[in-house]
Structures are given as structure tokens and as C-alpha cells.
Amino acid sequence: GENVEQHPSTLSVQEGDSAVIKCTYSDSASNYFPWYKQELGKRPQLIIDIRSNVGEKKDQRIAVTLNKTAKHFSLHITETQPEDSAVYFCAASRGNNDMRFGAGTRLTVKP
């Protein structure tokens, strides 16, 4: 089955700096890669996703890149703000009900 590894487990950046979180997956048939943000005490919310036919996707300050050959994808947050502080989860799926999540990255943005 699919195995998703996520790094780093914790990340601390200064406000205004960029943050990068990386994930690798094992199943070459995976074709959908979402990123979820979970603020303290709240539900995980989808912030951006990418499908395997695209190499990069951007939405304002966040972007995701996908390297299918190397089986890894990354979340990039630019100009970080304190409200970006949260736990971020990556996931990989074949597009069906079988989604596997990474262990999560706790991002802290220091003002």
C-alpha cells in the first residue's frame, strides 16, 4: 500500500520568511496530492491540491510542486504570517477512497 513520509516534523520561521514542507510517496499510481492545514482545536482544511498531470500549482502565497519521477511533492509558503502557524498534512491518493496521510508538520511563525 501507499506510504507517505513528511519532513520536517516541526518548522519554525520568522515572519516574512518562506517555509517549505516536503513529502515523499511510494505508490506510483497515486495521482492526487492534497495539503491540509489544521489550526489548534480546529478541523483539517484543504488549502491546496495538485494532480499528477500538473507539475506546479499556486494560490496566492502558497504553492505546491510535484516531481512524479522522484515521487515527491512540496508545499511552499512565502511571506509567512503568524496566522500560518498550524499543523500541515500532506496526503496521496489514487483518486479513490484510499488516501494516505503524512505524519504532519507543526509550523510556527514567529512575529
Partner 1 sequence: DVKVTQSSRYLVKRTGEKVFLECVQDMDHENMFWYRQDPGLGLRLIYFSYDVKMKEKGDIPEGYSVSREKKERFSLILESASTNQTSMYLCASSQTGSPIQYFGAGTRLSVL
Residues near partner 1, by CB under 8 A: 1, 4, 6, 9, 32, 34, 36, 41-46, 49, 89, 93, 95-97, 99, 101-104
Count Cα neighbours of 40 within 13 Å in the Cβ-side half-sphere: 6
CB 110 within 8 A of CB 13: yes
Q: Please, what is the minimum distance in Å from the beta carbon of residue 49 to partner 1?
A: 7
Specify the residue, 37 or 80, whose C-beta has the smaller distance to partner 1. 37
Q: Please, what is the minimum distance in Å from the beta carbon of residue 15 to partner 1?
A: 25
**Planar angle of CA 44, 47, 49, nearest 5 degrees:** 110
Specify the residue, 42 or 60, whose C-beta has the smaller distance to partner 1. 42
Whole-number Å distance between alpha carbons of 49 and 34: 4
